[in-house]
Every structure is written in C-alpha cells, then in structure tokens.
Amino acid sequence: MRNYSHHLAKLALHFNQLPTEVDPEQINDYLYLVKQQHNTPSDSYFKFTVYAPRFAYRMEGLKDKRIELPSIKRDKRLPVVLSQEEVRRLLKAPKLLKHRALLGLLYGCGLRCFEVRNLKISDLDFDRNMLHIRQGKGKKDRYVPLSAILIRGLKAYIQAEQPYIWLFNGREQEIKRRSGGDFDSRYSQRGVQWAVKQAKKDAGITKEMTVHTLRHSYATHLLEEGLDIMSIKDLLGHQCIDTTMVYLHVAQSGRVRPFSPLDRLYPITK
C-alpha cells in the first residue's frame, strides 16, 4: 500500500493532475523519462508505476474504465488510425453542437481526453487562430492551430450553449453524483468517452476505437500531408521523440506510397 501511495503521489506531482486522469501515453512518457534519468530502474519500480493507477481506479470504483495501461516492455502494437473519410463521417454524426465541437477539437487539435476537458473559454484565441493547451506544473504549455471550420463551429456552440469558464461543462445532476476524481463542473471523462462511442456507432465505423484514436489519426494524417516529425512531436506535446516515431510505421507517406502488387496486376479505375 505504501509503495502504491508513493508512486501515485509522484505521478500526480509530475503531471499536476489527479492520478485517475493520467492516461497511458503520459505514463509511457513518464517511464521513458525515469529510464533516462536513472539509467535502468528496477523492474519493481516500473511495476509499481503501472499498477498503482490500476489500484486507484479500483478504489475509486471505476470498474468500467477499461484503460489499457502500458506494459513494462513497450507495447509494440501499432495504434488504430481512422481514414480521412471515416473522420468526416464521425464529425458529422453528433446531433448536439457540443459534441460536434468536442470531436472537432479532439481530432482537429490532437488533444488528449483530459486536455479537452481542461479547456477554458479563455484558451481560445480566435484572432490568431490558435488554441492554448495548458499543462500545468512540470509540463510545458503549447499552442496548436485552429482551423477556420472548427472556429466557426466553436463560435456557434458558444453562442448557443453559453458555457461558463470551462469550454465544456457537465450537467448539474451529473456533477452531483460524480465520483472518481471529477469534482468540478467540467465535462466528465465518461461524458467525453460516451460522445465518441455514440458518434462511432452513428457513423457506422467498425474499427475498435477510443477517444485517443482521434489523436492518433490527427498525427498520422499530418505526417501523410508532409509535416515533419519534430513539428508533430511539438504539436502533440510529447516529451520524447520515440513516442512520436510510432506514426512513421502507420502513415502512408514517402516518395512512393506502399501498395499491393495485386494493384499492378489488376488495376481498378475509380
């Protein structure tokens, strides 16, 4: 128990977040940083860093929070990425302006779940077409571009919903019964997850996807459009380039894009 508490406290201090809000990518970055600073920490150190958040989820009653925490060895599975056509369908699917704006920011700015929940109205800079993402103590702030179509949608949402302080507020009755580390009026983590899950269903997307899939798709599509890997690293807020390099294995980019030899044997005219 003491070891769990110690590692949860270190995670919370490093990211300036509740342990229940730290996502797998952040834990991967943290483990990489620890490895760089301390050369080769023991296996038990890594195990407690990974298992402590699992223990916290169980104690908070977050049984339905099926977050896949990283293994001691880095997971070699490539991320699931949506095609651009799938993203178009997904962004059109929500009926509520709030959910359209939410999904637009997750994909259009490559945000993590906790980042979109932490957005305040004051973080939107429509004059410069930029979004300010605040990381808090121990993490650098960053700016990412806002597209013209997303700005239009955000303005329509703000005018219609009149959000207060936070860009996305939770419902009053939801806030009263909230547990698991959500103690303010922000839109809940479960609310964000539900919005993405419902849009996936309505859009007819069959791929296994989570909120984080939109971030993976953002990075991959930027790489395919020719943006360099270091710029993508900065836009994503990664601490180490190794985390960003995985998208090189997913993106369909390069001088000659990969193709199947069957396409040469049996060309199909679109």
pLDDT, tens digit, 9 for 90 and up, residues 3-23: 778 878 887 888 888 877 777
- Of the candidates 137, 177, 264, 270, the residue annotated as catalytic is 137
The active-site residue out of 117, 186, 212, 216 is: 212
- Does residue 269 carry a pLDDT above 70? no
Closest-CA residue to 106 (of 98, 115, 118, 97): 115
Q: Give, in degrees to the nearest 5, the angle at Cα 48 between 140 and 70.
A: 65
Which bin fits 162, alpha (ψ -120 to 50), beta or left (φ > 0)? Answer: left
Tens of pLDDT, residues 140-165: 899 999 999 999 999 999 999 999 89
Amino acid letter, 30? Y
Of the residues 112, 186, 221, 233, only one is catalytic, namely 112
> 79, 250 in Cβ contact below 8 A?
yes
164 in catalytic set: no
- Which is more confidently placed, 250 or 72? 250
Query: How far lies 46's CA from each of 41, 42, 51, 74, in Å?
Result: 7, 7, 9, 11
Burial of 2 (0-12, 13-18, 19+ CB in 10 A): exposed
To the query of whether residue 134 is one of the catalytic residues in this protein, the response is no
Catalytic residue flag (residue 186): no
Q: Residue 179: which of 50, 66, 57, 68 has the closest Cα?
A: 57
Q: Residue ranges of the domains in the chain?
A: 2-59, 84-249
pLDDT band at 136 (very low <50, low <70, confident <90, very high): very low
**Residue 112 falls in the annotated catalytic set:** yes
The answer to whether residue 45 is catalytic is no
Catalytic site includes residue 266? no
Residue 91 neighbours by CB under 8 Å, 6+ apart: 100, 103, 104, 107, 199
List, for residues 224-238, the tens digit of each pLDDT value: 888 889 999 999 998
Of 30, 107, 218, 247, the catalytic one is 247
Is the distance from CB of 135 to CB of 141 less than 8 angstroms?
yes
Q: Which two tokens stand for residue 194?
A: 């539900």
Of the pLDDT bands very low, low, confident and very high (cuts 50, 70, 90), residue 210 is very high
Average pLDDT over residues 72-100: 88
Q: Decide if 132 contacts 145 (C-beta within 8 A).
A: no
Domain over 84-249 is classified CATH 1.10.443.10 = yes
